[in-house]
Chains A and B, each alone.
Chain A
């Protein structure tokens, strides 16, 4: 039971990582990050079923943080779009060394 759950969360996490790596659109990347967070949350839940409820406490924390992060992140993306008329990350490289 645990193995299947972990396999699912791993698959979800890897999908998220690949999404972050290959996409250029900031919104999609943002969604992929959220997907990774969700995969981690699922892992916590799966573990908490076998090893006590501490994992569920973490899930609440992570959801809170990701909600806050979503608010800030979306605000940033909107600010970038207003400024540059694009959210394609390829075009945003002000920190180039």
Chain B
């Protein structure tokens, strides 16, 4: 790979060639090396390690039945606990290698970013390493593409990823399978970087599948409990449905324009015909892939269950990076989506429906991680609406800020769960360490986590000047602006004029923002405020996490506050000169500028007054949500989990997630099982394959054998007859021919 000559696509001399950007291949190779080292240590530990992970898991599984995600956290109990398991013998090495490779990768990414910022390349920097699939006219290289869009993703992945890796050291150090955990996590980062660096759809697809695999491995990390293993399987199977869509989109692209690399597709996309049924179909299939990976309706069902994995995994994979791959794919394919207003509107509509759906479910969840899981689904909609209405910059902007504050929220919840688990472990209690009804008043014991999570809550609710405010507001503003004069507004979607639809989406967006503020405040109130419901004995054991966990939280907190500075809107900088405006928009302009212009063609810039009113409305709604939640919710009167009564009526329906899982169980899973059992198993497998083909061929051979054995009479006379008759037949055949 090293010896291959770099081929620059746009011109022979690309501004980035000869700079540190040549080392882009090292970005994914570093985590891959970490994967290999940690994986080998894990294997070595499994053979020679001091502890038997299975035995340790079984020992505690009874006590932790209600808290699958942190079933093994109790090994984190320090001090005099007699059940404390010895750390993995290689845990010291793993603690250095695992986060180390990520930090190195991040530093390299910073260097490349520096080079790119000074070179300001107009075209993508493409490095081709070897020819991967030369088939007929199709030539697919194992090639990496470095442009402003992938740069943003790389910085988020390696930066937030490194912080989460460091957090993981504190969170997972006492797990018997510590090296295995880090090998999976490193492998995930490797595939995620391949996904964002790939210069064509097949390479992207390799990363796409790879992150799915790592997601599966990490959700089912504590596979000793069936629920966790099932959650992993669910995520994997649901994602396969989406991947099918992405594959079909790739096949259609190849069948119609014959190329699959981004530069080629981008150049030939117009040949497909703007607004044609073909390009719409391709985009919709591609979007099916995105709904799977990014947990949108109809394929969102795996994400809440994915919270069964360790909490840092939820932060990294199921909040900050992997689930945003769909947004990245649409932004990357902006040259396709901008050609199809119908597909773009579909993206926005599906996102909006998902948002309101997930946000209402989030209102009634008690598991702290489930709240955050539904919140992620609901937040992804902003990104999808952003890229759906052609505001690719805003979508990516929200992706970045969301990575900051949602990673902070998840890691904060990890800190809470860590404390809760340690406390319950000390008293050998079987209570649920993730249920908010067992928390309350934690701000006294976890002051740092509490403050940081409040910052993240304000950011996600869209309170200025936190990062979420800018990104969220920009998306809502784009939706509003696109409703007049853009290609989307003049298109119709299922008979509804695009303009009307965009106003509806805008209204849904405000509603979702309101709900977000409510459920996030609810989570914070029940977790950190009011009386402590943990239990008198356990209260003594509650304590703040070690610095290796709070450190990354603080960094993320700073980012969550100041992330908005990446792309300050003009309307804000005009009033308050906070800093340079629209940095990200300028940065991404070479990649998505053309597609954005194609959609906004003719759309008049909304007057500043309108924009200010829109911002005002958004802020008022967010504040209203927080105030309402504070006024209505009474953490003082909340019963503990074991005293709780089930909700009734509509609340019950929401608490049961609209019975979607049950519905899918009835309509898809059970019929599938029934058909499999009664038809596929008994008829096809037992009847046709076993009965006809396997046993049938055996019977056929036996039958021929029986006939042959009848011929062997042992009587020479009979053989002589055969001989003579045979000779006569041969002679006759030759004579009469």
Query: At the interface, yes or no: A89 with Cβ under 8 Å from chain B?
Result: yes
Q: Tell which of A90, A94, A97 touches B717, judged by Cβ atoms closer than 8 Å.
A: A90
Q: Tell which of B708, B712, B717 touches A95, judged by Cβ atoms closer than 8 Å.
A: B712
The answer to whether A97 and B720 touch across the interface, beta carbons within 8 angstroms, is no
Binary flags per residue of A66-97, CB closer than 8 Å to B gives 1, else 0: 00000000000000000000000110111111
CA distance A24 to B716 in the complex (A): 9
Q: Determine the residue in chain A with the shortest Cβ distance to B727.
A: A17
The answer to whether B717 and A21 touch across the interface, beta carbons within 8 angstroms, is yes
Query: At the interface, yes or no: B118 with Cβ under 8 Å from chain A?
Result: no
Query: At the interface, yes or no: B131 with Cβ under 8 Å from chain A?
Result: no
A21 / chain B contacts, CB cutoff of 8 Å = 717, 720-721, 724
Q: Determine the residue in chain A with the shortest Cβ distance to B719.
A: A95
CA distance A16 to B716 in the complex (A): 16
| CB contact list, B431-480 vs A, under 8 A | none
Q: Determine the residue in chain A with the shortest Cβ distance to B708.
A: A97
Binary flags per residue of B703-732, CB closer than 8 Å to A gives 1, else 0: 000001111111111001100100000000
The answer to whether B712 and A97 touch across the interface, beta carbons within 8 angstroms, is yes
Interchain nearest-CB distance for B35 vs A (Å): 62
Query: At the interface, yes or no: A20 with Cβ under 8 Å from chain B?
Result: yes
Interchain nearest-CB distance for A84 vs B (Å): 13
Interchain nearest-CB distance for A33 vs B (Å): 10
The answer to whether A92 and B716 touch across the interface, beta carbons within 8 angstroms, is yes
The answer to whether A97 and B724 touch across the interface, beta carbons within 8 angstroms, is no
Q: Determine the residue in chain B with the shortest Cβ distance to A90.
A: B715
Q: Determine the residue in chain A with the shortest Cβ distance to B705.
A: A97
The answer to whether B717 and A24 touch across the interface, beta carbons within 8 angstroms, is yes
Q: Determine the residue in chain A with the shortest Cβ distance to B706.
A: A97
The answer to whether A93 and B714 touch across the interface, beta carbons within 8 angstroms, is yes
The answer to whether A89 and B711 touch across the interface, beta carbons within 8 angstroms, is no
B712 / chain A contacts, CB cutoff of 8 Å = 95-97
The answer to whether B724 and A94 touch across the interface, beta carbons within 8 angstroms, is no
Q: A17-B724, A21-B720, A21-B721 are in contact. Are A97 and B711 (CB under 8 A)?
A: yes
A29 / chain B contacts, CB cutoff of 8 Å = 716
Interface of B is mostly: helix
| CB contact list, A8-51 vs B, under 8 A | 17, 20-21, 24, 29
Binary flags per residue of B678-719, CB closer than 8 Å to A gives 1, else 0: 000000000000000000000000000000111111111100
The answer to whether B713 and A96 touch across the interface, beta carbons within 8 angstroms, is yes
B711 / chain A contacts, CB cutoff of 8 Å = 97
A93 / chain B contacts, CB cutoff of 8 Å = 713-715
CA distance A95 to B714 in the complex (A): 4
The answer to whether A97 and B721 touch across the interface, beta carbons within 8 angstroms, is no
CA distance A20 to B722 in the complex (A): 12
Interchain nearest-CB distance for B129 vs A (Å): 65
**Residues of B within 8 A of A (CB-CB), count:** 13
Interchain nearest-CB distance for B718 vs A (Å): 9
Interchain nearest-CB distance for B41 vs A (Å): 64
A17 / chain B contacts, CB cutoff of 8 Å = 724
The answer to whether B720 and A94 touch across the interface, beta carbons within 8 angstroms, is no
Q: A96-B714, A97-B714 are in contact. Are A20 and B709 (CB under 8 A)?
A: no
Q: Tell which of B708, B710, B716, B721 touches A89, judged by Cβ atoms closer than 8 Å.
A: B716
Interchain nearest-CB distance for A91 vs B (Å): 9
A94 / chain B contacts, CB cutoff of 8 Å = 714
Interchain nearest-CB distance for A25 vs B (Å): 11
CA distance A93 to B714 in the complex (A): 4
Q: A97-B708, A97-B709, A97-B710 are in contact. Are A89 and B715 (CB under 8 A)?
A: yes
Interchain nearest-CB distance for B392 vs A (Å): 80
Interchain nearest-CB distance for A24 vs B (Å): 7
Q: Determine the residue in chain B with the shortest Cβ distance to A97.
A: B712
Interchain nearest-CB distance for A72 vs B (Å): 16
A92 / chain B contacts, CB cutoff of 8 Å = 714-716
B714 / chain A contacts, CB cutoff of 8 Å = 92-97
B716 / chain A contacts, CB cutoff of 8 Å = 29, 89, 92
CA distance A97 to B714 in the complex (A): 7
Q: Determine the residue in chain A with the shortest Cβ distance to B710.
A: A97
Q: Determine the residue in chain B with the shortest Cβ distance to A22.
A: B717
CA distance A20 to B718 in the complex (A): 10
Interchain nearest-CB distance for A45 vs B (Å): 23
Q: Determine the residue in chain A with the shortest Cβ distance to B715.
A: A93
Interchain nearest-CB distance for B735 vs A (Å): 14
| CB contact list, B149-207 vs A, under 8 A | none
CA distance A89 to B717 in the complex (A): 7
B708 / chain A contacts, CB cutoff of 8 Å = 97
CA distance A29 to B717 in the complex (A): 9
Interchain nearest-CB distance for B707 vs A (Å): 10
Interchain nearest-CB distance for A97 vs B (Å): 3
A24 / chain B contacts, CB cutoff of 8 Å = 717
Q: Determine the residue in chain B with the shortest Cβ distance to A94.
A: B714
B724 / chain A contacts, CB cutoff of 8 Å = 17, 21
Interchain nearest-CB distance for B726 vs A (Å): 13
CA distance A76 to B717 in the complex (A): 17
A90 / chain B contacts, CB cutoff of 8 Å = 715, 717
Interchain nearest-CB distance for B730 vs A (Å): 15
CA distance A21 to B727 in the complex (A): 14
A89 / chain B contacts, CB cutoff of 8 Å = 715-717
CA distance A17 to B728 in the complex (A): 12
CA distance A88 to B723 in the complex (A): 20
CA distance A29 to B709 in the complex (A): 25
B715 / chain A contacts, CB cutoff of 8 Å = 89-90, 92-93, 96
Which residue, of B708, B712, B713, B720, has the highest number of chain A Cβ atoms within 10 A? B720
Binary flags per residue of B80-115, CB closer than 8 Å to A gives 1, else 0: 000000000000000000000000000000000000
CA distance A20 to B721 in the complex (A): 9
Interchain nearest-CB distance for B292 vs A (Å): 62
Which residue, of A29, A92, A94, A97, has the highest number of chain B Cβ atoms within 10 A? A97
CA distance A92 to B719 in the complex (A): 13
CA distance A97 to B707 in the complex (A): 10
A96 / chain B contacts, CB cutoff of 8 Å = 712-715
Interchain nearest-CB distance for B216 vs A (Å): 57
CA distance A24 to B712 in the complex (A): 18
CA distance A17 to B723 in the complex (A): 11
CA distance A37 to B717 in the complex (A): 18
B709 / chain A contacts, CB cutoff of 8 Å = 97
CA distance A73 to B709 in the complex (A): 27
CA distance A32 to B717 in the complex (A): 13
CA distance A9 to B710 in the complex (A): 36
Interchain nearest-CB distance for A63 vs B (Å): 23
Interchain nearest-CB distance for B710 vs A (Å): 7
CA distance A29 to B723 in the complex (A): 15
CA distance A55 to B425 in the complex (A): 106
Which residue, of B708, B714, B721, has the highest number of chain A Cβ atoms within 10 A? B714
A97 / chain B contacts, CB cutoff of 8 Å = 708-714
CA distance A20 to B716 in the complex (A): 10
Q: Determine the residue in chain A with the shortest Cβ distance to B725.
A: A21
CA distance A94 to B711 in the complex (A): 14
A20 / chain B contacts, CB cutoff of 8 Å = 720
Interchain nearest-CB distance for B51 vs A (Å): 64
CA distance A21 to B715 in the complex (A): 11
Ordered by A's residue number, 8 sampled pairs between the chains whose C-beta atoms are within 8 Å are: A20-B720, A21-B720, A21-B724, A90-B717, A92-B714, A92-B715, A96-B713, A96-B715
- B interface with A by C-beta (< 8 Å): 708-717, 720-721, 724
Closest 7 CB pairs of A and B: A97-B712, A93-B714, A96-B714, A97-B709, A95-B714, A93-B715, A89-B716
Inter-chain pairs besides A95-B712, A96-B714, 10 sampled, C-beta below 8 Å: A17-B724, A21-B724, A24-B717, A29-B716, A89-B716, A90-B715, A92-B715, A94-B714, A97-B710, A97-B714
